[in-house]
Amino acid sequence: MILVTGGAGFVGSNFVLDWLAQCDEPVLNLDALTYAGNLDNLASLQGDSRHIFIHGSIDDGELLSRLLAEHKPRAILNFAAESHVDRSIHGPEDFIQTNIVGTFRLLEAVRAYWSGLADDAKAAFRFLHVSTDEVYGSLAHDDPAFSETNRYEPNSPYSASKAASDHLVRAYHHTYGLPVLTTNCSNNYGPYHFPEKLIPLVIHNALAGKPLPIYGDGQQIRDWLYVKDHCGAIRRVLEAGRVGETYNVGGWNEKANLDVVHTLCMILDELSPRSDGKPYKAQITYVKDRPGHDRRYAIDASKIERKLGWKPAETFETGIHKTVQWYLDNQAWVAKVTSGSYRQWLDRNYGART
């Protein structure tokens, strides 16, 4: 059995679904079900004995110790995190609590559990920590992409909290010998993405006839990674990654935010045209940029390809078409997650910028 934390969130739920589609090894899924955690993501697993869901948080040390003793997982994959930069600007404390304190308490519980294992189980055990490229800071236009040796220069409360969690994971390996692996990924997109991030927000607003908000000049560059490719990379790192190592996971798809929005508009023009015949790009609205907005991220994913033989299967063009089609086919899911609290958040974050 493996333990997945944050397994009802965007990347975590995609990983759980992908894992159980690939093999029969059971998953113990721990999630606090905050606003972005959604059991509807896992509806297809209802009644599946391979999936055991536990409602709880990684900062609950007593719960963690009990679950580890009872289920005896051979590996732990930590997806649990607060992950939205804008929310971290408005309310950083949740990010400190989950990403730093929560990771610490998880590591403490895991260290105690791992120390008590028999020698063979102890040697085979792995703790895989899923992190972000944002810990590296921002790149100038001509800078080389982030490699695993880039120094950490986080610029938001979110990225600073993730950087701290990465440092804790590294410290628990070097101090206590805990067999850890860390992945730092670029911007994910795909099914079950809560519509506060750029791609699902634009799709949702476009179909609703609402403005498509672009921060600043829209020339902030991100590397885009289809979430199912990310899941494949994590499986490969868990299987063959070298203990103590970090692996950057990227899609080799650097795109300016404005170009991403134009692409989404063109796909929607094709798949679900507006009733008035106008293009969706007519809904684009430029709003005040967010504080400390990093200009460019780019991931050099050559190490994971060279060492572990992984590379993304999807191009941006194939992945983004699949993503738009998924949202068109799953409007009931979107309607359910875009509740009153979601609308209040949009008003809070974007209202003062327009």
Work out the average pLDDT over 18-34: 96
Give a yes or no: residue 304 inside a domain: yes
23-27, 87-91, 135-139: the lowest-pLDDT one = 87-91
pLDDT of amino acid 348: 58
* Tally of helices (H runs) and strands (E runs) in the chain: 14, 12
Give a yes or no: residue 87 inside a domain: yes
The answer, yes or no, to whether residue 88 has pLDDT greater than 90, is: no
Give a yes or no: residue 265 inside a domain: no
* Confidence label for 346 from pLDDT (cuts 50, 70 and 90): very low
Catalogue the active-site residues: 133-134, 158
1-10, 85-94, 329-338: the lowest-pLDDT one = 85-94
The answer, yes or no, to whether residue 321 has pLDDT greater than 50, is: yes
Give a yes or no: residue 128 inside a domain: yes
Give a yes or no: residue 274 inside a domain: no
85: enclosing H helix or E strand: helix 85-90
Q: Torsions phi, psi of 212, nearest 5?
A: -105, 100
The answer, yes or no, to whether residue 185 has pLDDT greater than 80, is: yes
pLDDT of amino acid 351: 61
Work out the average pLDDT over 8-33: 97
Dump pLDDT digits (tens) for 210-219: 999 999 999 9
What is each CA distance from 74 to 168, 183, 296, in whole angstroms? 21, 19, 37
pLDDT of amino acid 350: 47
* Confidence label for 354 from pLDDT (cuts 50, 70 and 90): low
Burial class (CB in 10 A: 0-12, 13-18, 19+), 326: middle
* Confidence label for 341 from pLDDT (cuts 50, 70 and 90): low
CA atoms within 13 A on the CB side of 75: 20
Give a yes or no: residue 322 inside a domain: no
Count the domains in the chain. Answer: 1
- Alpha carbon distance 280, 320 (integer Å): 16
Work out the average pLDDT over 233-245: 98
Give a yes or no: residue 41 inside a domain: yes
Dihedral through CA 281, CA 88, CA 246, CA 72, nearest 10?
Answer: -110
pLDDT of amino acid 35: 80
- Alpha carbon distance 32, 321 (integer Å): 31
Dump pLDDT digits (tens) for 251-284: 999 999 999 999 999 999 999 999 999 999 999 9
DSSP state of 208: H
What residues make up the domain containing 65?
2-189+226-252+297-312
Work out the average pLDDT over 97-107: 97
* Confidence label for 342 from pLDDT (cuts 50, 70 and 90): very low
What CATH number is attached to the domain comprising 235?
Answer: 3.40.50.720
Give a yes or no: residue 172 inside a domain: yes
User: Which pair of structure tokens corresponds to residue 20?
Assistant: 């159980």
Helical H segments across 177-256, by residue range = 198-208, 227-240
Angle between helices 61-71 and 103-115 (to 10 degrees): 40
Average pLDDT, whole number, for the chain? 94
The answer, yes or no, to whether residue 199 has pLDDT greater than 70, is: yes
Q: Sign of dihedral through CA atoms 321, 43, 235, 243?
A: positive
